[in-house]
Amino acid sequence: MNKKSLNDVWVSNKKVFVRVDYNVPMDKAGNITDDTRIRATIPTLEFLLSKNAAVILASHLGRPKGKVAPEFSLKPVAKKLSELLFGREVKFAPDCVGPEAKKMAAALQPGQILMLENLRFHAEEEKNDPEFAKQLAGLAEILVNDAFGVSHRAHASVHGITKYIPAVSGFLMDKELLFLGQAVANPERPFVAIIGGAKVSDKIGVIENLLTKVDTLIIGGGMANTFLAAEGHETGKSLLEADKLDLAKELIATAKAKGVSLLLPEDVVVADKFAADADRKTVAAGQIPAEWMALDIGPASAAKFAEALKTAKTVVWNGPMGVFEFDAFAVGTEAVAKAVAASGAKSIVGGGDSVAALEKLNLAAKITHISTGGGASLEFLEGKELPGIAALADK
């Protein structure tokens, strides 16, 4: 990449504004249920602290819509970070701008960490407001952007701020760009992509772009129904996007024209209602009964997909193969998780559900790269320019 990274700049004894994506899931009691995004930034933080930088951390959490909302406070995140740094103090500023934040940032000493309160408590963050961006920039001398997960948003803390202080990527950002970048620009072949999840409409761009790059495209999950219907199959009460049938037909034709092997489910697990305890049976993809709905891929599909993954050298996976939240319909997603892990390919996985399946099966360690980006990794795979990355300083 022709962008400057943390290794290219002098940070010793400097005040460094580190934008992270600590938008982590929490339960109702405010406990962090998955700290992956926090742990993923530790290498950047350890490096900065070892260089005696004064670290000012900023993140958003949730979508508080520009208003102060205590349930979206980053305070529990500061506590968790302190634990992950073996008890090192993480100071906490009650706001990300204003006199208190300014005072605390000014007083911060080399080797200390200060976390600012949720950036999205100010509507100006999402509006990319120049004055707000200037205030954030005023707290530090340089921006280290380690927030890959938010790099598809042109927000003040990742975009506007770079007009006032130089911006470089952190090590997590570097890692994301390296693995995702290599997969789309220079994949070792065969390159197999697995796309699942609820709707085709969410992932049209990704499917279109991947069709120009992959050798095999596997489609599962709810979105597969629209493709099955496009091939003339009856899909009963399954989730179906009738307005995307022509598009699905076009995508099938594009795959054919490009010589991409497009794999759709050949059998599905159908349910008599959308419920964890629904009656279920496995049927051929072409024989979904009128009153039933497909909620998972069947065993023959899982075996077909696993076969394609066996020889893969690069795998990209996003989205579950079925209604993974219900144990009875998580079998297909788990079978794909096992096949991706066993493939020995360079594997890149994004999307909360796919990662959760891998973690449940204790297979996450077998994956080459688990992306911390949801929407950001999808937009990257679509081939879009991400504003947070475009704004980094050129080399």
Ligand X SMILES: Nc1ncnc2c1ncn2[C@@H]1O[C@H](COP(=O)(O)OP(=O)(O)OP(=O)(O)O)[C@@H](O)[C@H]1O
Ligand Y SMILES: O=C(O)[C@H](O)COP(=O)(O)O
Question: Looking at the annotation, which residues are catalytic?
Answer: 37, 199, 352, 375
DSSP state of 394: B
**314 vs 371, which CB is nearer to ligand Y?**
371
- The residues binding ligand X (CB under 6 A) are 197-198, 202, 221-222, 239, 294-295, 318-320, 322-325, 351-354, 374
DSSP state of 214: -
**Residue 149 interacts with which of ligand X, ligand Y, none, CB < 5 to 8 Å by class:** ligand Y
Backbone angles phi, psi at 201, to 5 degrees: -60, -30
- Provide the minimum distance between the beta carbon of 94 and ligand Y in the complex, in angstroms, as a whole number: 22
Tell whether residue 66 is a contact of ligand Y (CB under 6 A): no
**Residue 318 interacts with which of ligand X, ligand Y, none, CB < 5 to 8 Å by class:** ligand X
Stretch that binds ligand Y, among 146-154, 168-176, 226-234, 283-291 (CB under 6 A): 146-154
Instruction: Report how far residue 203's alpha carbon sits from residue 173's, in angstroms, rounded to the nearest whole number.
Output: 23
**Residue 375 interacts with which of ligand X, ligand Y, none, CB < 5 to 8 Å by class:** ligand Y
Binding mask 18-37 for ligand Y (x = CB under 6 A): ---x-x--------------
364: Cβ contacts below 8 Å, ≥ 6 apart: 355, 358, 370
**21 vs 353, which CB is nearer to ligand Y?**
21
**302 vs 376, which CB is nearer to ligand Y?**
376
- Provide the minimum distance between the beta carbon of 155 and ligand Y in the complex, in angstroms, as a whole number: 8
Beta bridge partners of 322: none
Burial class from Cβ neighbours inside 10 Å (0-12, 13-18, 19+) for residue 58 reads: buried
Task: Report which secondary-structure segment, H or E, holds 256.
Answer: helix 245-258
Beta bridge partners of 113: 55, 90
- Provide the minimum distance between the beta carbon of 364 and ligand X in the complex, in angstroms, as a whole number: 14
- Count of chain residues binding ligand Y (CB under 6 A): 8
288 is written with which tokens? 């979904």
Rounded to whole angstroms, what are the CA distances from 175 to 133, 258, 373? Answer: 26, 30, 12
Instruction: Report how far residue 191's alpha carbon sits from residue 178's, in angstroms, rounded to the nearest whole number.
Output: 16
Please say whether the beta carbons of 76 and 125 come within 8 A.
no
- The residue within the footprint of ligand Y, chosen from 374, 387, 389, 391 (CB under 6 A), is 374
- Provide the minimum distance between the beta carbon of 330 and ligand X in the complex, in angstroms, as a whole number: 9
Task: Report which secondary-structure segment, H or E, holds 39.
Answer: helix 36-39
Tell whether residue 375 is a contact of ligand Y (CB under 6 A): yes
**64 vs 319, which CB is nearer to ligand X?**
319
- Provide the minimum distance between the beta carbon of 317 and ligand X in the complex, in angstroms, as a whole number: 9
- The residue within the footprint of ligand Y, chosen from 18, 20, 116, 150 (CB under 6 A), is 150
Instruction: Report how far residue 291's alpha carbon sits from residue 17's, in angstroms, rounded to the nearest whole number.
Output: 56
DSSP state of 271: E
Q: Which residues bind ligand Y (CB under 6 A)?
A: 21, 23, 63, 149-150, 153, 374-375
